[in-house]
Amino acid sequence: MTENLDLFSAEPHDSKAPAAIKNGVPESVMAKAAALRTKLNQWAHEYYVQDAPTVPDGEYDRVYQQLEALEGAYPALVTPDSPTQRVIGAVLDGLTPVRHAVPMLSIQTETDNEATGAIAFDQRVRKELGLDESAAAIEYVAEPKFDGLAMNLRYENGVLVQATTRGDGEVGEDVTHNIRTIRQIPLTLSAAAAVPPVVEVRGEVHMMRADLEKLNERQLAVSGKTFANPRNAAAGSVRQLDSKIAAQRPLSFFAYGLGEVTPVDQGGPDFGSHYGMLQTLKSWGFPVAPQVCVATGASELVAFHERIGAERANLPYEIDGVVYKVNSLALQRQLGFKSREPRWAVAHKYPAQEMPTLMEAIDVQVGRTGKLTPVARLAPVQVGGVVVTNATLSNLFDIRKKGVRVGDTVIVRRAGDVIPEVVGKVPGERSAYVPNFRMPKTCPICGSEVVREKGEANHRCTGGLFCAAQRKEAILHFAHRRAMDIEGLGGKLVDQLVDGHVVRVLPDLYKLGLTSLAALDRMAEKSAQNVLAALEKSKSTTLQRFLFGLGIRNVGESTARDLAKYFGKLDAIMDASVEELLQVKDVGPVVADSIHTFFAQPHNREVVEQLRACGVHWEEGEPAEKAPQILAGLTVVLTGTLPTLGRDTAKDMLEAAGAKVSGSVSKKTSYVVAGAEAGSKLTKAEELGVPVLDEAGMLALLSGERPA
Ligand code: IVH
């Protein structure tokens, strides 16, 4: 960027000629400000509308600040369409009613979910136009039907002068102060195509799904109140009196039509088609939805309806249907209006994705990993085209957050193929007191204790192997190659064994016989024999594999190995206290607690005993020799590179001897061990008078010496 950074020596001009001044502003400064504005508008359009920025944010900010500085020095420079004027913080007493120059009409709606909606519309249009079967197919424009708030944007000589809501279609409300804060809406029309003296652009103010989610997170933290959908969020933001609030709301815009426009004979634009008009709106700087396209004949409308229907759940913004419009403006004029609706357009809705219904109960389901999920039982309701009777409520915190209780009328949402969920409560008082939902203390499937780990939102059943809900998962994990390594015991087979009640608990695996196995689907005698052989082979294993195979939460392979090494014997692990478990390398409070809770369940101990009784065995070792804790109570800090020992090895050695290894030096530090290129920690140690050792000194410390 080779730009003149000296703001006030804007244009090079002959220093002897007197500077031209207008309204107290040198013309060169005016030109400079205009150039900065054009640049900023261009960049903002690339960023907010085209989603394709061409300069880094910092560059935008730098130029913005230049413009701000110029306008600060010459207030007369400020124009209402300057990028600096988006957030001027206007606060109104109330919204002013405004009569629309051209009424904002509504659209006839086809609600049926089938192709017939599009076909019926095409037939009506053809009939109105007096076309017979042999006439060519009609060209339409197919658009998404955005779920937001309709807006009329009035531009005079290319400058935004007024933004109004639809209101009753005749009279809306002036919300210009808020609309100016929407970065996607140009304050000045870029003159790529000639701009008429008057043009009203119509479209939908809405909110992207991701933006709404983020906004709701903030809302929840600040006021505890969230917006149920983008339409409410858009309406709630646009109708604020204080534009600072709207400025903080991530609003978006899609243009889809026109209001008043200077007539052609007075210099207005001569659009031939709706699609062509949309392209002009785009060139003026408005966002037009990328899905908008020309569709010829009913069949292409049907295809559009289907395609957008399939994409609907994954679109970054909400839609509630599609809109078909006759493309030719001449044909539109010919078709005209029927009462308050144009005959040339129709909205074809999709089934609602959100519906209210009564929540009759909350049950708890146990998943295959032991997670407890509260499930809302609902009075049957049509949502997204199917009857919904159950919806998930994720976890206890989700229920608290949404504030729903049994007996409430709740909003149920089902989008695409996702599991229906309860979104929230329909506002209104409860007629009677209903206690808040609580998670059960014991598993509804197996009766084992239910726990929730610190910092976790989910409750879990501790039944593990014993819990029917977790059985399949537990068996597959037990058979895993890195656990008991039972070849041939895969998902399909486990499904059959569990569903057919052949295997209830792990030990049942070792009671399988050839006849019962070979009788299963897709099991020949040969494969049954192979599974039996694999089972037999698995009986001779290692303590590490066996422990890992039990599927104790938070006990992976390496923890299983450390436990086996440390304790040597299974009984020692089963009987270990949390404190003892914490002695094992890398076992922290969460893992120690998982292990302790697992073996505290009588069912789990029973499973282990039965497996042993079936002949599962491993070699037991002696507990690891515990190094004498000669450094117990000392805190050591390592810094720099030691000549022979790696940092990790040094840390392990110190910790094995009972020292605490810390990352920062304080008065409480016993020793600092410093190697080459030791930095601030060494300096700090010297300042505080903490003894400093080299590697040799550390080894001496480990051998029992206490250097001063
Ligand atoms: S055209 C005369 N196109 O649907 C036709 N409207 O009743 C004027 N809407 O609240 C509207 N997406 O805000 C049109 N692509 C689209 C639309 C759309 C959403 C809304 C509009 C109004 C209602 C029309």
Nearest to 413 by CA among 402, 429, 397: 402
Structure-model confidence comparison of residues 642 and 441, the more confident one: 441
Compute the distance from residue 143 Cα to the ligand 1 centre, in Å.
10
pLDDT in tens, 273-299: 999 999 999 999 999 999 999 999 999
Range 211-218 average pLDDT = 90
Task: Please tell me if the CB atom of residue 354 comes closer than 6 angstroms to any atom of ligand 1.
Answer: no
* Least confidently predicted of 4-13, 43-52, 153-162, 168-177: 4-13
pLDDT in tens, 243-276: 888 999 999 999 999 999 999 999 899 999 999 9
Residue 220 predicted with pLDDT over 80: no
Q: How confident is the model at residue 600 (pLDDT cuts 50, 70, 90)?
A: very high
Predicted local confidence at residue 16, as pLDDT: 47
C-alpha 549/C-alpha 605 separation (Å) is: 14
Predicted local confidence at residue 681, as pLDDT: 92
372 within 8 A of 460, measured Cβ to Cβ: yes
Task: Please tell me if the CB atom of residue 342 comes closer than 6 angstroms to any atom of ligand 1.
Answer: yes
C-alpha 222/C-alpha 226 separation (Å) is: 10
To 10 degrees, the CA torsion angle through 593, 595, 600, 606?
170
Task: Please tell me if the CB atom of residue 567 comes closer than 6 angstroms to any atom of ligand 1.
Answer: no
Average pLDDT, rounded, for the chain: 89
Task: Please tell me if the CB atom of residue 204 comes closer than 6 angstroms to any atom of ligand 1.
Answer: yes
Predicted local confidence at residue 116, as pLDDT: 83
Predicted local confidence at residue 1, as pLDDT: 40
Q: What is the DSSP letter of 137?
A: P
> Of ligand 1's atoms, which has the minimum distance to the CA of residue 105?
2
Residue nearest to atom 12 of ligand 1 (CA): 145
Structure-model confidence comparison of residues 539 and 558, the more confident one: 539
Q: What does the H/E/C string look like for 425-460?
A: ECCCCCCCCCCCCCCCCECCCCCCEEECCCCCCCEE
Residue 194 predicted with pLDDT over 90: no
Secondary element (H or E) of residue 388: strand 386-392
Range 152-163 average pLDDT = 96
253 within 8 A of 185, measured Cβ to Cβ: yes
pTM value is 0.60
Encode 573-593: b = buried (16+ Cβ within 10 Å), e = exposed. Answer: bbebeeebbeebeebeeebbb
Predicted local confidence at residue 113, as pLDDT: 65
Structure tokens at 412: 């149920």
Residue 306 predicted with pLDDT over 90: yes
Predicted local confidence at residue 91, as pLDDT: 67
- Classify residue 117 by burial, with Cβ atoms within 10 Å: 0-12, 13-18, 19+: buried
Structure tokens at 440: 């059960």
What the chain holds in terms of domains, given with CATH numbers, is 21-85 (1.10.287.610), 139-349 (3.30.470.30), 353-425 (2.40.50.140), 464-538 (1.10.150.20), 543-619 (1.10.150.20), 635-702 (3.40.50.10190)
Predicted local confidence at residue 418, as pLDDT: 75
C-alpha 253/C-alpha 237 separation (Å) is: 13
Task: Please tell me if the CB atom of residue 107 comes closer than 6 angstroms to any atom of ligand 1.
Answer: yes
Residue 10 predicted with pLDDT over 60: no
Q: Annotated catalytic sites, by residue?
A: 145
Range 652-661 average pLDDT = 83
pLDDT in tens, 56-110: 888 888 899 899 888 888 888 888 788 888 765 566 778 899 999 999 988 988 8
pLDDT in tens, 345-404: 999 988 878 889 999 999 999 987 899 999 999 999 988 778 999 999 989 998 998 889
Predicted local confidence at residue 6, as pLDDT: 43
Compute the distance from residue 147 Cα to the ligand 1 centre, in Å.
9
Q: What does the H/E/C string look like for 179-214?
A: HCCCCCCCCECCCCCCCCCEEEEEEEEECCHHHHHH
Predicted local confidence at residue 497, as pLDDT: 92
Nearest to 535 by CA among 471, 607, 611: 611
Structure tokens at 303: 């295809």
Predicted local confidence at residue 383, as pLDDT: 87
> Of ligand 1's atoms, which has the minimum distance to the CA of residue 150?
13
Compute the distance from residue 447 Cα to the ligand 1 centre, in Å.
55
pLDDT in tens, 604-652: 899 999 999 999 999 988 887 766 778 888 999 999 998 888 887 888 7
Q: First and final CA of the chain: distance in angstroms?
A: 62
Sign of the C-alpha dihedral, residues 379, 381, 384, 388? positive
